[in-house]
Amino acid sequence: MTTDTQTRTRSFVQALNEALDLCMDAYPEMFMLGEDIGVMGGDFGVTRRLFQKYGAERVRDTPLSEAAIVGTCVGAAMVGMRPVAEIMFADFLGECFDQLVNNAAKVHYMFDGQFKAPLVVRTACGGGFGGGPHHSQSVEGWFLNVPGLVVVAPSTPADAKGLLIASIEDDNPVLFLEHKALYSKKGDVPEGMYRTPLREADVARQGSDVTLVATMRMTTEALAAAETLADDGIDVEVVDLRTIRPYDVDTIVESVNKTHRAVVAIEAPKMGGLAAELSATISEECFGVLDKPVVRVAGLDAPIPFSMVLEKYVLPGRDDIVSAIRSM
C-alpha cells in the first residue's frame, strides 16, 4: 500500500537508501550497524549520507566481526529495538550462522512468545563481477531449512524499497538478500512510504505456455529469455518469487495449473537448493496437470572462479533458460 503514487527513476541502491531513510525517520527504535556503513556509506553506497543525518549512535560502524554484529542485533531486538545490520558479503554469513539460526530464528518459540527478534540482516550476494569463490555465492539454500527465519530477495528497485520497509516493520528476523548485479539496475520507484507484501510472489510477465519461476538476477534473465522465446511463438509466464522463505506456493501452483509446464531458474548450484525445493513442490502439487517434468536451470556444482570467462560458464543465464524451455 503506497502513501504517494508518484514515481521517479531510481537505482536499486537508491531505492534501498530511501527505505532506510524513511524507516529511520519513522521509527526511533531503529538503528543500523555494520562494517563501514557510517562515514563511508557502506561498501556499495546503500547507507550513504545516513550517518551525517542520524549520527553515530544510530548508524554504527562496527569491527570486522559478523558474529558480534548479528549477536548485538538479537539482543537489541529482544529488548524492543529494531536493528538493521549490514553484512558486507553474504559469503560471510557463516561467521554469524549460529546467531541467526539458533538464536534469532528461535527466540519467539523458545520464550513462548515473551520475546521476539524483529531484526533485518541486509547482505550482498551473487556473482557476475569476478569476485571469486569467497565473494560471489548465492546463499539462500543455506537458510531454507530454518523455521522462524524470513528470507527476502527483491529483483526490482521498486520491490527493493517496498520489501525492505515491510521487512523492517515485520516482527520476525529477516535475511534480506541484495544481488550485487542488480545494484545499478534502474526503474520506477514510488515516492514516500509504501510496503511490498512479504510472502507474496509477483507475476512479472503473463503467459500461457510455460511457467518460469525465478528470483533476484535470474528474474531479469528470465524476462529477457521470455522476450526471445516470444519471437518463436512461445508465451512464457514469469513468476518472481520475492520472498524465498516462506515462499508463495499458491501463486506458483495457479500459474502451473494454467500453463501445464514449469521451469525453475536459480543462480545457486542445483544440488540441495531452492531449485530442488521448488521443483519438488511443483511436482507434488501439480503432478496431474504437468505435460512435462519440471526442469531446473541452476549454477554448476563448483566454486565461483575469479575469471570472468569461467564465471560465466559456471553461472546460468538467459541462454540456458531459453534452451531449457525449447527442450520442453
Mapped onto helix, strand or coil, the DSSP state of residue 108 is helix
Whether residue 233 sits in one domain with residue 94 = no
Of 62, 43, 52, 44, nearest in space to 21 by CA: 52
The domain boundary residue, chosen from 160, 190, 220: 190
The domain boundary residue, chosen from 150, 165, 190: 190
What contacts 55, CB < 8 A, 6 or more positions away?
Answer: none
Q: Residue 196 falls within a domain, yes or no?
A: no
Q: From CA 121, how far away is CA 148, in angstroms rounded?
A: 14
Whether residue 209 sits in one domain with residue 182 = no
Q: From CA 296, how far away is CA 69, in angstroms rounded?
A: 36
Active site residue 135: yes
99 DSSP assignment: I
- One digit per residue, pLDDT tens: the chain, 328 residues? 444 569 999 999 999 999 999 999 999 999 999 999 999 999 999 999 999 999 999 999 999 999 999 999 999 999 999 999 999 999 999 999 999 999 999 999 999 999 999 999 999 999 988 999 999 999 999 999 999 999 999 999 999 999 999 999 999 999 999 999 999 999 999 999 999 999 999 999 999 999 999 999 999 999 999 999 999 999 999 999 999 999 999 999 999 999 999 999 999 999 999 999 999 999 999 999 999 999 999 999 999 999 999 999 999 999 999 999 999 9
Helix (H) or strand (E) holding 155: none
Whether residue 124 sits in one domain with residue 33 = yes
Q: Residue 38 falls within a domain, yes or no?
A: yes
Whether residue 161 sits in one domain with residue 134 = yes
Q: Residue 179 falls within a domain, yes or no?
A: yes
Q: Residue 270 falls within a domain, yes or no?
A: yes
What contacts 190, CB < 8 A, 6 or more positions away?
Answer: 2, 4, 5, 6, 7, 158, 161, 162
Catalytic residue of the set 134, 135, 179, 260: 135
Q: Residue 195 falls within a domain, yes or no?
A: no
The residue range of the domain holding 242 is 202-326
The domain boundary residue, chosen from 135, 163, 190: 190
